[in-house]
Structure formats: C-alpha cells, structure tokens
Structure 1
Amino acid sequence: MSATDLLRQDHLKIKRLEKVIVKCYQQLYAGKNIPLSDIEKINFVIAEFLDSIHYSREEDSYFACVASYDSLRDEIRKFMIEHEFSRRIAKNINKHLQEWKDGKNSREPVARFLRTYSIYLDDHLKKEDEFFNKAEAEIISKEEEQAMYEQFQSVMAVSTKMQTILEQIDYLEKQDWFVS
C-alpha cells in the first residue's frame, strides 16, 4: 500500500460519514427527532477524523512532498483554503449544536451547516481524488509513497483513534433515523 492508497481509503470512510450527514440533515429538515448525542458523534468524527487525521496527513506530509517538486502548488493552495472552510463549517455546527443543547431551537442552523458540510465533502473529495491520481502518476516516487505511508502508520495513537472513529460511524449507520 502507498500513501496515496491510504488517503483514498480515508476518502471511502469519509464518504460513509457523508451519507450519515446527508441523512441527518434530511431528517432534521423533515422534522424528525435526531438525538443530539448522535449529532455530537457526527461532529466528533468530523473533528477527529477529518481535521486531526486526514487533513493532517495531507497538509503535513502529502502536500508538502508534492509541492517540493514545484508542482501543483495552485491546487494545494486551494485545498488548504478548502480545509480551512471545512473547519469553519464544523465550528458552526458545533456552535449551533451547543445552543440547541442549551435550550435554543437551533435545529435549522444545525441542519443547514450539516447540509453545507455534505456539499463541501462531495465537491472536495472529487477534486482531491483527481489530484491524487495526478500526483501518483506524475510526481511522487514509489520510495516517497512508501516513506509517507510508513510515517502515516507509525503514529500508534492514530490507529486507536481511527478504530474509535470507525466504531462511531458504524454506530450512526445503525440508528433508526439513519436506516428509516
């Protein structure tokens, strides 16, 4: 396996999360009750997986390696901006979720920001997949791929965190509001 393959596997997990997010906001807009604890789990996965693990792999290693060849810098800059946009959407989900927990009716803003996040994910993942194809085919050597992959795998805390994240996604996919 290579670093690019690992990032593609991340994208498959993110697409599972995206389906959960879509179902959640659709149910919220339909007036269905979603336990706030489930929305907190979604928010947890966004923060811990996307931001702490996936974006870190891309920003700290993958993009830096590609940029060192003076290639695809404009695409990388755009991805960095999109990652920051993602973080801002996630902060808004969290903010409105906390207001909702405190008794304010924040159903609509939570649903709206979840919908925005799902739209972002769909667009962003497609563009990154194209980027990975180009970087893998034209820029990154097999040795660099292997070295980054080993670096990604060497962080033991990530594997424990990843297991927790996958358990959270599994849990969400089994909830009545998701399967209905």
Structure 2
Amino acid sequence: MSATNQLRADHDQVRRLEKLVAKCADELYKGTKIPFSDLSKITIIISEFVDTIHHSREEDSYFPCVASYDSLKEEIRKFMIEHEFGRNIARQISHHLKRWKDGENAQEPVSRYLRTYGIFLNDHLNKENKFFDEAEANILSKEEEIEMYEQYRSVFAIVKKVDEMIAEIDYLENQPWAKN
C-alpha cells in the first residue's frame, strides 16, 4: 500500500462518517430521539479519527512532501484552511451537545452544525481525492509513497485507534436511528 492509498482508505471511513452525520442531522430535525451516547461517539470519531489521525497524516507528512516539489501549494493552503474550518464546526457541535446534555434546548444547533459538518466533509473529500490523484500520478515517487505509508503504520497506537474508530462507525451504522 502507498501513503496516498492509506489516505484514500481513511477517506472511505470518513465518507461513512459523513453519511452518519447527515443522517443524524436529518433525524434530529425530524424529532427522532438519538441517544446522547451516540452523539458523543460521533464527536469522538470526528476529534480522534478525522482530526487527530487523518488530518495530522495529511498536514504533518503528506502535504509537506508534496509541497517540497513546489507543487500544489495553493491547494494545500486551501486544505489547511478547510481543516481548520472543520475543527471549528466540530467544536460547535461539541459545545452545543454539552449545552443540550446540561438541560438547555440546544437540539437545533446540534442538528445544524452536524448538517454543516456533513456538507463540509462531502465537499472536502471530493476535492482531496482529486488532489491525491494529481499528487500520486505526477509528483510523489513510489519510494516516497512507501516511506510515508510505513511511517503511518509504524505507530501501533494509531493503528489500534483507527481500528477502534472504525468499530464505532460500525456500531453507529447499526443503530435504529441510522437505519430509518
């Protein structure tokens, strides 16, 4: 496997999350009761998988390697801005979820920010996948791809955490609200 293919595999899992987030937002708008534990799992997956693992792979390794060829720098800058935008949305989801858990009427902002995050993910993943195609085809060498992939896989704790996050996505996909 290559670094680009690892990031694409991450995207496959994030796409599953995107569908769950959109479904969750829709169900909340309909008035469906969704357990706070499920909503909390979504925020944890966003924080621990999307941001801490996936985005750090891109920001700390992949993007700098591509940029070192003086290529696609403008696209990388835009992705970095989008990552921060996604973090801001995720913070709002967590903030309003906490308010809701504390007894305030915050279901609507939780729904709204979940919907916004789902839209963000869809758009962002589509653009990054095109970027990966370009980087893989025209910029990165096979050796660089393998070296970055080995770097990703060398941290056992991260590999284990990814497996845990995928299991959480599996769990959420099988909840009644997600199957409606």
TM-score bracket for the superposition, by shorter chain length: over 0.9
Aligned residue for 1:110? Answer: 110
- Cα distance in 2 for residues equivalent to 1:71 and 1:120: 25
Which residue does 2:72 correspond to in 1? 72
The code of the aligned residue for 1:45 comes to: I
Question: How many Å apart are 1:167 and its aligned residue?
Answer: 1.1
Deviation string 1:17-70 (CA, Å, 9 cap, x unpaired) is: 111111100000001110111000000000000111000000000000000001
Q: Which residue of 2 aligns with 1:96?
A: 96
Determine the C-alpha separation between the residues in 2 that align with 1:33 and 1:103.
15
Deviations along 1:104-133, one digit per CA (max 9) or x if unpaired, are: 010000000000000000000000000000
Secondary structure of 2:69 counterpart: coil
Give TM-score scaled by structure 2 length: 0.99
Could you tell me which residue of structure 1 aligns to residue 161 of structure 2? 161
Deviation for aligned residue 1:76: 0.2
Indicate the residue corresponding to 1:125 in structure 2. Answer: 125
Aligned partners of 2:159 and 2:141: how far apart in 1?
25
**Alpha-carbon distance between aligned partners in 2 of 1:160 and 1:152, rounded to the nearest angstrom:** 12
Deviation of the 1:163 alpha carbon = 1.4
Which residue of structure 2 lines up, in the alignment, with residue 49 of structure 1? 49
Alpha-carbon separation, structure 1, partners of 2:156 and 2:54: 15
Matched residue, 2:4 = 4
Q: Structure 2 stretches of 5 or more lacking a match? A: none
CA distance in 1, matches of 2:177, 2:139: 44
Q: 2:5 and 2:43 mapped to 1: Cα distance?
A: 25
SS of structure 2 residue aligned to 1:159: helix
Q: Once the two structures are aligned, what percentage of the paired residues are identical? A: 60
Aligned pairs, how many? 180
**Distance between the aligned counterparts of 1:110 and 1:133, measured in 2?**
34
TM, length-normalised to structure 1:
0.99
Q: Aligned partners of 2:9, 2:113: CA distance in 1, in Å?
A: 25
What is the aligned partner in structure 1 of residue 178 from structure 2? 178
Alpha-carbon offset, residue 160 of structure 1: 1.1
Tell me how far 1:159 sits from its aligned partner: 1.1
**How far apart, in 2, do the equivalents of 1:178 and 1:125 lie?**
21
| RMSD between superposed Cα atoms in Å | 0.5
CA separation in 1, counterparts of 2:96 and 2:120?
19
Give me the whole-angstrom Cα distance separating, in 2, the residues matched to 1:115 and 1:49: 19
Query: What corresponds to 1:145 in structure 2?
Result: 145
Which moves more between the two structures, 159-168 or 131-140? 159-168
Is there any run of 5+ residues in structure 1 with no aligned partner, and where? Answer: none
Which residue in 2 is equivalent to 1:14? 14
Tell me which residue corresponds to 1:24. 24
Q: Deviations over 1:70-121 (max 9, x none)?
A: 1000000000000000000000000000000000010000000000000000
